[in-house]
Amino acid sequence: MRGLLAVLMCVAWVSAAAEGATAKKMSPLKKLVESIHYIQDSFYKEVDVGKCVDQILSGGVSKCTDRWSHYESAEEDNKEALDEYGEKDQSVYVEKPEAEIGYVKIKRFISETRDDFEAAVIGLNQNGMKVLVLDLRDNPGGRLHTVIGIITFFKSDEEPILYEVGRDGKEVPDTPYESNRGIFKELKVVVLINKESYSAAELLAGWLKEDFGAPVVGEVSFGKDLIQKPFEFEDGSALYVTYARYLIGKGKLSIGGVGVKPTLEVKNPEGQGDAQMQKAIETARRLAVLSH
């Protein structure tokens, strides 16, 4: 937290100074990104922030970049994903492949995803669903608070969902929300992941596997365990800066660089159908029988 405060105090000064920097040609924006990351790193090592900035402006930033920190213009930060017909693409897709099996695909985690997911599952429950197949394949991640909100639906206690680990090594717990806590705690779930399941999708899959006991079908996920803070600018653009890693659930599972390992590893051979989905449905059928 102290590092973030230092960043906020230095952003305007660094940005202005970068405009006039001549030691190394670099766009002010790129210099700002690298400056923020370097200030954070150095601040936790109790290095003088002013000295850090001086080093940055003299071109000493080559080894201080974080490839996940990035800038999005106003158009990129606020753009809506469109489907193949040019219409707004919803983040949650729902269907009911069998009488007792529901299917929900979360495409990404945006502000509306929590409410859309809740509505989808309630609707499936009202139509006789016993087991939910939750598809997180090809999900690039998204907003942390949205994922915490979704996990809250499956969790009735107040134990932490994850721990944020900053550069000082301290573990800060994130606990469930009060709203609608535990409303799906009795629901049986089968999770689908693949190597393109990132970050927030991995957090949800990992928690459902480790703390909820859900079987996970597919491939080992990507392994991105970073949490980012958006710094929003007046023009609508935003700078996303990595400030912590997360550990999942009561077992403090670390997935950085290793991903979430599926319970049932299944690959999808090209041109041979969706073997992962078939295995998930088979698993859901067995769970549905056990629920009677």
> Is the separation of the CB atoms in 121 and 159 below 8 Å?
no
Query: Interior CA angle at 113 toward 107 and 117, to 5°?
Result: 90
Tokens 């230092």 correspond to 6
Residues marked active site are found at 199, 224
Q: Cα(first)–Cα(last) distance of the chain, in Å?
A: 50
- Indicate the burial class of 177 (C-beta count within 10 angstroms; 0-12, 13-18, 19 or more): middle
Q: How many residues does the chain have?
A: 292
| CA nearest to 171, candidates 240, 67, 231, 250 | 250
> Is the separation of the CB atoms in 117 and 104 below 8 Å?
yes
Alpha-carbon Rg for the chain, nearest whole angstrom, is 21
